[in-house]
Structure 1
Amino acid sequence: MRILQCKLTTIEALLGTASNNKALHSEFIASHAPDAPSREEEIAAVGVDEVIEKGTTVFSRNEDGRPILWDYQIKGFFKDACGVLRKVKGTKSSKIKAYKKEIDGLIFVQERQILVQTAEELTSCQRPLRANTPQGEREGLANSEEIAAGAVLEFSILVMSDDLVPAVKEWLSYGKLRGLGQWRNSGKGRFLCEILEERAAEFSDILD
């Protein structure tokens, strides 16, 4: 059992993922976070008064009003990374069979809220959306809060199986190619990871 103390530094702008429509967040987004202690905690952290457009995705905020990511967003990134890398021959991920179950049950981000440390003002990223629907091709405009490259996120990861540690490091390295947040396919949210510390842990440490 190992604990990895990680420092992520974004190399591309990071976009918010939470809906600014609190009712929508209540019914859909928060319900997709089964490990969240309470739906109310999620909803209360969504949105900023200055952003009024329904379709805007934003960053959740902590009690000081600073942007955060939630622990399960990092785990979601791990699932995304592993799901792709397991198809690449010779990767650590290719040896993991029931990878979602392994990540859910054996890998934990210890901080509930992860502060996005930045000295830059938050801006807005707009981009066109195109979709083929039964009514024909439709176009729209997506809008997201954006934090400039150079933001720092620090958190610790508990890996309960030593065999999974190399895979976790592989996923964190994959962040250089595919990152966190909205519009990842364009390169948004890419990051570099530094392992500040790696140490052994005992199950008794978790229970204390």
Structure 2
Amino acid sequence: MRDTVSPPDPSALSSLPIFPLPNCVLLPGGLMPLHVFEPRYRELTRDCLAGHQLMAVARLRPGYETTYYGRPPVYERCGVGRIICSDELPDGRFALLLRGVARVEIARELPADRAYRMVEARMLQDTSCDKADAHDHHRRLIQLCDRLAEVIEKGGPQLRDLVRAFDEPGACADAIAAALVMDADARQELIEAIDPMVRLQRTLGHVSHMLCELAPCDGAVN
């Protein structure tokens, strides 16, 4: 079964709520659980559930602590997630599961008329690349993920399925990186990269590194 990540309606980006978080980057195709407890983000969640169910997860820039309850700076390039599962708890908190559906760039922050922040954003489209080269990298990524699936303690079958779930090489790189790359700086670099080849190369490098750590090897893994 081939997977697709349906992009958001462009009209939703003209007034998009953001959920600023430290060291959290939502990549397209990835999943992100959220525990929502602050009153302003409970309001955001209720409004999202009543509307298009979309929010941007914007990573807070360093030094945010002193203005956390105001409007601390965020990285302009971020991921948009769609709420695919929600559970309101008896005390008003929410347990959410987001699925990344797009990478966007914040154009401007809108005037405050709610407890949470709203922005106008624009969709970031992938640049063109050599299709044969991209599909060659995609095949290598499938091969490496198959090898990684054999040596990880759990999740091997799911990893094999995931790497085969996307026809587009860049989308596959996003989904694999979302599952395997944990470092926030590395994830931020990936959300900002609109060249699919850059994302493929970085994801291949990460999977190769994981393989060498779990199954020691000499030199590069191909």
**What's the TM-score once normalised by structure 2's chain length?**
0.27
**What's the TM-score once normalised by structure 1's chain length?**
0.28
The one of the two structures with greater contact order (alpha-carbon pairs below 8 A, sep at least 6) is 1
Give the structure with the higher percent helix. Answer: 2
